[in-house]
Structure 1
């Protein structure tokens, strides 16, 4: 199954640069807590927060990738424990919910952890088909190959969440 392209990084100023400046100024504890929402590894979040300030979003994302590549099996297990399986909209057909639940159960039985996949850039109407196809394909992997793919998906998820975090941090505070 082809891997979708990584989250694109805009070089324009605006929400990203404002958000990055705010993120860089946050107290370390706040930055670590926000980063834990991007990747559930405490060591990853600590490392990312400790290396601030980041000069631009591309540098932040590169640091995220580097920290992701350095995750130990224990760090990856911790990050996976913080994840939940991709789910469907409540209005999706019952058969789709059942198929997805069965596929997740088979995956977790085979590999001992939740299935993760980055769906950035995939239209919501294609999510269920993409997730089911990916689970089926990845069930054929041996544990080493799957561990590598899972780590890559975690890196991709973290990148997308960081972009979201920095964009959210760059929005003006709501009026009281």
Structure 2
């Protein structure tokens, strides 16, 4: 666990590419922390500016996520929360998810993370429960790699959403906030 605490982070923040290139480094790091809760990742993305376009920013963010150390991953995982169940999920689903997550946390020492951005809302619950049950069978090192990839996908989705939202703040992706 990190010796420091992450700063209080805002909710979803719109980040225009122009702002990414011109914002003070500390302000940008703070905004990037809302995408992936790793100080090192946010610093690396901020320190490699300027970015000619959103694609270059996303590529740099992906690359920085691949380079995270186990301590950086632990920091990011510590700040994540359980995936939200779709609206209208029945109480048995909440009970099943809570039980599966308790087993997962006991086995791996961190909350279960999964990126469901590309999953249709009516399939999210089944995918979530199937994934957590399946991943419980992973060895700790294998699961660390899977969790790291899911964190990278979550960060990318959050960053894409922030960039898209900055261009048109009245739109959203299927009404859902990525990375949740």
TM range (shorter): 0.7 to 0.9
TM-score by length of 1: 0.83
Matched, 1:121 2:113: no
Structure 1 portions without partners, runs of 5+ = 1-15
Q: 2-side partners of 1:60 and 1:89: how far apart? A: 30
1:62–1:137 CA distance, 2 compared to 1 (3 A):
same
CA distance in 2, matches of 1:77, 1:120: 22
CA contact (8 A) 1:23 1:169 kept: no
SS in structure 2 at match of 1:85: coil
* Contact kept in structure 2, 1:23 and 1:166, CA below 8 Å: no
Compute the displacement of 1:34 (Å).
1.0
Alignment of 1:10-159 (within 5 A): 19-89=16-86, 91-159=88-156
> Between Structure 1 and Structure 2, whose CA radius of gyration is higher?
1
Aligned length: 157
Structure 1 Cα separation of the partners of residues 101 and 117 of structure 2: 20
RMSD over aligned CA atoms reads 1.9
Answer yes or no: is the 8 Å Cα contact 2:78–2:110 preserved in 1: yes
Asked which structure has the greater RCO (Cα within 8 Å, sep 6+), the reply is: 1
Over 3 Å off, 4+ runs: none
Contact 2:86 2:125 in 1 (8 A): no
CA distance in 2, matches of 1:113, 1:146: 11
Gaps of 5+ in 2: 1-13, 171-180
